[in-house]
Amino acid sequence: MRQRLTKEVRENQILDAAAELFRERRSFAASTLEIAQKANVVEGTLFRYFPTKRELLLRLAERSYLRTLADYDEQLAGIKGTWNRLRYMAWRQLKNIQDDPVLYRFIHNDIKLDPEFRSTRIFHLHRSFTKRTLEIVKTAMDTGEFLSDIPVRLVRDTIYGAIDHHVWRYLRGDGSINIDRIADDVTTLVYRGLSLQKGDHKQEEAASKIESRLARIEAKLNQLTKASEKA
């Protein structure tokens, strides 16, 4: 007797089949019947799990975010240093795009432009996704490694905006992307732009000494003024 698959296993079986077809064709040009056949189920079974093709696509996007978040937490635990951690965040985003450009186009051009986007589960998953980057930058600012007068969200937008700009040709099906080089370049741009260089520390130290001397001079002037008034 054949063992009956659980709901989760069957759902992932259908999603895996859909994802494979979409990647092969570099588009969503696969019917629900083709997806069902690829998953070795009847079309009616597919519709029990995903009443519409759009719902299937949304579930694919959610699953992608959940898997990425789990990977982030596992990998970041073993990565030390701000540059390395930021570089991993950029690289992982690029890897997602390289592996599944069709799904990324759907997320970027369809889901995020939906007026109801902020009320969706994907919006909250996306916030969790970028929150890791915000935390890395904020920690570097709090410890004095980064300048602290730059809005943290602007740094986040710079990272992901630069990535988006680099991948548009690839998403259109024009050429390939070197995710290692792009990750290195984006990370270095942000890190060098925000890092407090040694010269900056020296300037701060010099300014502090000048302020201290001025305070002592002011105190002496006050003493002389009081002495002259008594005389």
pLDDT tens digits, 48-68: 999 999 999 999 999 999 998
Report residue 89 as tokens.
């965040």
Regions of the chain where pLDDT drops below 70: 1-4, 197-218, 220-231
CA distances from residue 149 to 142, 196, 205 in whole angstroms, order as listed: 11, 12, 18
CATH 1.10.10.60 fits 1-51, yes or no: yes
Q: Report d(CA 83, CA 39) in Å as an integer.
A: 42
Superfamily of domain 60-196: Tetracycline Repressor, domain 2 (1.10.357.10)
Domain map of the chain by residue range?
1-51, 60-196, 198-231
CA 135, CA 140: separation in Å to the nearest integer?
9
Q: What is the pLDDT of residue 163?
A: 95
Q: Is 195 helix (H, G, I), strand (E, B) or coil?
A: strand
Q: What is the pLDDT of residue 26?
A: 85
Using alpha carbons, select from 126, 82, 101, 69 the residue that is nearest to residue 179: 101
Q: What is the per-residue pLDDT for 230?
A: 57
Q: What is the pLDDT of residue 228?
A: 56
The torsion angles phi and psi of 146, rounded to 5 degrees, stand at -115, 150
pLDDT of residue 200: 47
Q: How far is CA 31 from CA 37, 44, 50, 93, 156, in A?
A: 10, 13, 13, 28, 37
122-152 pLDDT per residue, tens:
999 999 989 999 999 999 999 999 999 999 9
